[in-house]
């Protein structure tokens, strides 16, 4: 097993399980000044299995301390097939978790409350499940999961991800006391749905972010668009919520690394939104079994929601992960490789890429000396696109060589690129508008190079780069798993 610090694909500044399987982040909440984050964890095998809610806590969004799992399938009242995804809501001054309890294959909404102020020990409600799938709705795939609860001036609301007649949807509930829920119906009327392709057959992990009263920003409905056999992507629908219905406007792609970034959690933190998602593996089960771990959580992102889409930035707190700064100042003549003066598998790059006649700028990361392995980020001014090309990312045939493209990105002649390379994880924000997360698994010991190539004309690359330092999990004990 290539577990531990010698595993070159293990991230340092992203959270990953020391062993076992990780998927969705859950129940993200700020409580008593600390960030509590939970995630789907199947500790005994690096493949999906009945999940528990693992728990980590942070003061600075950069370093995390593991706590014991908050919810496990073993805790009574039993949901033996797993404690699936859900959310945390402050209700009457206390955090309350709503999650999906699964029993005999049936998905239902359950509730749990902390027994102490540090949120270390949790108790499932004796009334679980508190809501079950309505028998008179045309639910497909048995999908009834991932409750999200929030407060409106006239009471509580909940949405639950589902599939109605084979189409992704969210069921919408209201409650006066936060305990007895009545079904209002689908959150979005079928005839109001934008016709944009890719809405998915199931909506997983829906979130409704209410705009700030202060500005005229829209509300945002986020959901994972699931299609048969594959997790596809996360969409964000801007629109207006009137307390009864969500009236959609435009649909936006939240992250362009398809099959990469999924099931995000978002919280309001002062005057910013913070988003954390799951970045999936892109290698075979056999490779996962050999590694012993699977799945990482994205870095937090600050999100701004505007009528014309979303804006992203890595939060300033992450600067605490930086090592010594290296200045980058590279003139790139047409069609010539320029090696940048920074190396490593764990890097932050903050670059300003200026077009000086080039059609494209290719930035190779995790690149071996001989160039046989490289993960390529392409800024394509000619077709106004940003892409990651992974046809040569790894010589291991068990790694998926996908290509991800974001089109119509509004690429500026001077493009700002903010990227983290972290073992096998790549997260990029271009122009504050386009986010792209993906995975790459080079096997060359020297897959540490960063090389820029201006194609079809010249370009200039300036800015800063840093090695980033981990581990971000503060624990001498059992790693992220916490005590069992
Ligand atoms: C999304 C998801 C959720 C579900 C959880 C189970 O990745 O399928 O809909 O609650 O994972 O682990």
- Alpha carbon of 163 to ligand 1 centroid (Å): 14
Percent of the chain with pLDDT over 70: 95
pLDDT in tens, 206-240: 999 998 665 678 999 999 999 877 767 899 999 99
- Alpha carbon of 38 to ligand 1 centroid (Å): 13
Pick the atom of ligand 1 nearest to 145's CA: 10
pLDDT in tens, 146-195: 999 999 999 999 999 999 999 999 999 999 999 999 999 999 998 888 76
CB 434 within 8 A of CB 386: yes
- Alpha carbon of 321 to ligand 1 centroid (Å): 30
Q: Is 329 labeled as catalytic in the residue annotation?
A: no
CB 433 within 8 A of CB 416: no
Q: Digits of tens for pLDDT over the chain (484 positions)?
A: 344 458 999 999 999 999 999 999 999 999 999 999 999 999 999 999 999 999 999 999 999 999 999 999 999 988 999 999 999 999 999 999 999 999 999 999 999 999 999 999 999 999 999 999 999 999 999 999 999 999 999 999 999 999 999 999 999 999 999 999 999 999 999 888 876 556 899 999 999 999 866 567 899 999 999 987 776 789 999 999 999 999 999 999 999 987 789 999 999 999 999 999 999 999 999 999 999 999 999 999 999 998 788 999 999 999 999 999 999 999 999 999 999 999 999 999 999 999 999 999 999 999 999 999 999 999 999 999 999 999 999 999 999 888 889 999 999 999 999 999 999 999 999 999 999 999 999 999 999 999 999 999 999 999 999 999 988 988 744 444 433 2
Pick the atom of ligand 1 nearest to 143's CA: 9
CB 25 within 8 A of CB 17: no
- Alpha carbon of 455 to ligand 1 centroid (Å): 42
- Alpha carbon of 204 to ligand 1 centroid (Å): 7
User: Pocket residues for ligand 1 (CB within 6 Å)?
Assistant: 23-24, 40, 51, 84-85, 100, 145-146, 204-205, 224, 262-263
- Can you tell me whether residue 20 is helix, strand or coil? strand
Distance CA 113, CA 94 (A): 8
CB 302 within 8 A of CB 273: yes
Question: Tell me, what's the pLDDT at 170?
Answer: 97
Pick the atom of ligand 1 nearest to 146's CA: 10
Pick the atom of ligand 1 nearest to 224's CA: 1
Distance CA 162, CA 140 (A): 8
Q: Against a cut of 0.85, is the pTM above it?
A: yes
Structure tokens at 284: 């075979």
Distance CA 78, CA 108 (A): 12
Could you tell me whether strands 20-31 and 293-294 are parallel, antiparallel, or unpaired per DSSP bridges? parallel
Choosing from 263, 294, 296, 298 the residue with most ligand 1 atoms within 8 A of its CB, the one to mutate for a pocket test is 263
Choosing from 42, 51, 146 the residue with most ligand 1 atoms within 8 A of its CB, the one to mutate for a pocket test is 146
Output Rg (C-alpha) for the chain, integer angstroms. Answer: 22
């Amino acid at each position: 097993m290539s577990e531990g610090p010698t595993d070159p694909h293990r991230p340092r500044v992203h959270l990953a399980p020391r062993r076992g399987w990780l998927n969705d982040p859950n129940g993200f909440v700020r409580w008593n000044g600390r960030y509590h984050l939970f995630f789907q964890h199947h500790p005994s095998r690096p493949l999906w299995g009945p999940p528990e809610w693992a728990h980590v806590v942070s003061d600075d969004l950069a370093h995390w301390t593991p706590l014991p799992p908050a919810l496990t399938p073993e805790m009574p009242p039993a949901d033996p097939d797993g404690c699936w995804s859900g959310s945390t809501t402050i209700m009457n001054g206390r955090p309350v978790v709503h999650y999906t309890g699964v029993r005999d294959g049936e998905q239902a909404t359950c509730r749990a409350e902390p027994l102490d102020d540090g949120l270390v020990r949790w108790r499932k409600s004796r009334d679980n499940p508190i809501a079950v799938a309505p028998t008179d709705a045309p639910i497909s795939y048995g999908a009834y999961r991932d409750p999200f609860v929030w407060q409106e001036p006239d009471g509580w609301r909940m949405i639950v991800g589902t599939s109605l007649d084979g189409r992704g949807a969210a069921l919408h509930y209201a409650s006066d006391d936060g305990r007895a829920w009545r079904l209002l119906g689908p959150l979005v009327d079928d005839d109001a749905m934008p016709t944009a392709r890719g809405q998915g057959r199931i909506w997983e992990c829906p979130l409704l972010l209410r705009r700030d009263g202060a500005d005229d920003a829209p509300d945002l409905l986020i959901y994972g668009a699931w299609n048969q056999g594959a997790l596809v992507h996360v969409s964000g629908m801007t629109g207006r919520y009137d307390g009864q219905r969500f009236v959609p406007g435009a649909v936006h792609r939240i992250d362009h690394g398809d099959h990469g970034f999924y099931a995000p959690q978002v919280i309001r933190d002062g005057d910013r939104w913070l988003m954390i998602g799951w970045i999936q593996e892109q290698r075979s089960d056999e490779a996962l079994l050999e590694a012993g771990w699977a799945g990482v959580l994205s870095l937090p992102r600050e999100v701004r929601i505007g009528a014309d889409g979303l804006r992203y930035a890595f939060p300033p707190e992450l600067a605490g992960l930086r090592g010594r700064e290296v200045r980058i100042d590279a003139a790139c003549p047409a069609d010539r490789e320029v090696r940048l003066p920074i190396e490593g598998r764990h890097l932050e790059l903050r670059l300003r890429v200026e077009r000086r006649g080039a059609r494209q700028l290719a930035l190779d990361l995790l690149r071996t000396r001989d160039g046989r392995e490289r993960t390529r980020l392409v800024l394509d001014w000619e077709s106004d696109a940003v892409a990651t090309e992974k046809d040569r990312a790894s010589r291991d045939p068990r790694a998926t060589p996908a290509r991800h493209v974001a089109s119509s990105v509004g690429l500026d002649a001077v493009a700002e690129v903010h990227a983290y390379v972290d073992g096998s994880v790549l997260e990029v924000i271009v122009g504050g508008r386009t986010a792209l997360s993906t995975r790459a698994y080079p096997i060359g010991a020297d897959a540490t190079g960063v090389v820029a190539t201006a194609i079809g004309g010249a370009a200039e690359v300036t800015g800063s780069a840093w090695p980033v330092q981990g581990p971000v999990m503060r624990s001498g004990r059992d790693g992220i798993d916490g005590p069992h």
